[in-house]
A and B are shown apart, each in its own frame.
Chain A
């Protein structure tokens, strides 16, 4: 428990220090937020255009689609804020040797890698998602209050799932010298979660619910709020999936670090 408190305080401080440094260049930061927002708005418009043609698509109404999409932005935005160091981990940390410094500090190495820098502008996605959810809720007849209340927590679980999956892929760098080509295609799979899982065929459904459990990050968490009883078991499984993948991730990092210790690279 003390260790959790220690890491929570440290996370707040890391974030504050990074934000302070980043906000020192206000115009630069504003431009980054705007660019990020335009990107989100563009992909959101595509979905809206697509679905505005059909008032009911595969049994989903327009506001429900907006709700789904809006929610998918929450875990995705949180993930984007903390994932920037995962992408170039091999180059930045292993090749350039920064990982030595990480190992010299009495703080979890994975924690340090995740929280040494942030993509602050991605917080815009969280805000955009919240606005979209708000709009959708005003149009939907009966949204479960409990389902709504749990959304923020489930969004965090969703972000944990994303971080863990990419953490696992990143940990491969401890064994494989060359850049792993797996991360980009897996990243593309994230957009699948923006749509109702019912529109996909069985293979995709299985993939998104097992090995790459992105459906647990961005689709199943909406089941309770939207009153989709058939997905409720999956909804309640979200925390378990998040914890399981997080533990797997931590375990692989531990093995990776042990390997680093014996090879020094």
Chain B
């Protein structure tokens, strides 16, 4: 196997945070003596990315995602740990490394604000030394996939968020970097624009085998684009693997929804089905959630159909948002001061839960 595109080992970043006492007195006191505390934004993070891999880097606000990305792109210097990207140490070889990466921060444009988009592209062309022929060819592809042609003559400040994002994406790939960092690339986009951006990223990844690190709050992005997710919270990796595996481990639930003919005397809030209990969602409609480790979905369905006059039935899994929300919650509970001390691997191995849930 060839060298990984990205290799991260025991990456740590701490910040000194100054505690300011409130009010004028506090401000004056702060002039002479300030209390500082240390914030561990990224705490012993390790992972490898193979070339051409597309990975979702997810976590709640303040989990340490942006700090990690800033270290991986060379903006921040870590407190300790190692990072090698494409053979570079990002913060040490920053300028040479910058030629090999593309970066999109969804919240903030990488383009020049006041000049027309096409002029920004001309500047980038010069900065990255893209030849005239390559430039023409790539711009044609960008126009086909992102429809940026008619935006080129406008200054960036006049573009809508979606238009700007398409231009930013094109700009980040103008020099065809082997490694691409995307921070919230679909934030604020409508459904159609999101679909376009995702299709574009898939295509870039397929055609150029660009390695992509994707940070996002929109887990649909991840579900559509990434085979693998790295989930962090409080600076630590809680999960590194497939989405499927994440779901099976933390919320291995099958959900069977069924409809019954409405009885004359109204239906009960809870209904026994074999050893399980279904909860009423709305009149005549029930949800039965079972832990897949305890029972197989086909068995449960058979039992439902056997024991009840079912009119209609549907099976689903918890969506990924719910899985991740649960992991965050459980991790927060573990971190509470009165929680029992976390044993090795406890953070990742969170808790099993009962099969019956109320809908």
Contact = CB atoms under 8 A, between A and B. Distances in A.
Contacts of A264: 15, 67, 70, 75-76
B4 interface: no
A172 interface: no
Given A104-B75, A261-B75, 7 more contacts: A10-B127, A18-B115, A21-B155, A104-B73, A104-B74, A107-B95, A261-B91
B81 to A, nearest CB: 14
Is the contact region of chain B dominated by helix, strand, or loop, or is it mixed? mixed
A9 B128 CA distance: 13
A59 interface: no
B336 to A, nearest CB: 28
Contacts of B155: 21
B162 to A, nearest CB: 20
Contacts of B119: 17, 20-21
A104 B115 contact: no
A97 B105 CA distance: 11
B329 interface: no
A103 B74 contact: yes
A262 interface: yes
Interface in A134-171: none
Interface stretch (B106-114, B221-229, B294-302): B106-114
Given A103-B74, A261-B76, A14 B123 contact: yes
Interface of B: 15-16, 67, 70, 73-77, 79, 91, 94-96, 98-99, 101, 103, 105, 108, 110, 112, 114-116, 119, 122-123, 126-128, 155
Nearest to A14: B123
22 contacts: A9-B126, A17-B115, A18-B114, A21-B114, A21-B115, A21-B155, A100-B70, A100-B108, A103-B74, A103-B94, A105-B98, A105-B127, A106-B96, A107-B127, A108-B95, A117-B114, A258-B77, A262-B77, A262-B79, A264-B67, A264-B70, A264-B76
Interface string A240-265: 00000000000000000010011110
B110 A101 contact: yes
A98 B112 CA distance: 11
Nearest to B101: A104
Interface in A170-195: none
Nearest to B172: A104
A199 interface: no
Contacts of B108: 97-98, 100-101
A35 interface: no
Given A101-B110, A104-B110, A264-B67, A17 B122 contact: yes
A13 interface: yes
B2 to A, nearest CB: 25
Contacts of B70: 100, 264
A9 B122 CA distance: 12
Nearest to B111: A101
Contact of A106 (B115, B123, B127): B127
Contacts of B16: 263
Nearest to B92: A261
Contacts of A103: 74-75, 94, 98
A106 B98 contact: yes
Interface string A86-102: 00000000000110110
Contacts of A98: 108
Given A101-B108, A116-B112, A261-B91, A13 B123 contact: yes
Given A10-B126, A100-B105, A261-B91, A106 B99 contact: yes
Contacts of A13: 122-123, 126
A21 B122 CA distance: 14
Contacts of A97: 108
Given A17-B115, A21-B155, A261 B77 contact: yes
Interface in A95-139: 97-98, 100-101, 103-108, 116-117
A262 B76 contact: yes
A184 B116 CA distance: 34
A10 B127 CA distance: 7
Contacts of B94: 103
A105 B74 CA distance: 10
Interface in A19-51: 20-21
Given A17-B115, A21-B155, A101-B108, A106 B74 contact: no
Contacts of A107: 95, 127
A74 to B, nearest CB: 27
A100 B91 CA distance: 12
Contacts of A14: 123
A9 B129 CA distance: 11
A82 to B, nearest CB: 16
A59 B238 CA distance: 80
A100 to B, nearest CB: 5
Nearest to A98: B108
Contacts of B76: 261-262, 264
B98 A104 contact: yes
A116 B115 CA distance: 11
B128 A106 contact: yes
A18 B96 CA distance: 26
A264 B105 CA distance: 16
Nearest to B116: A21
* Listed residue (A17, A18, A98) with the most chain B CB atoms within 10 angstroms of its CB: A17
A262 B15 CA distance: 8
Contacts of B114: 18, 21, 117
A17 B15 contact: no
A170 B73 CA distance: 25
Contacts of A262: 76-77, 79
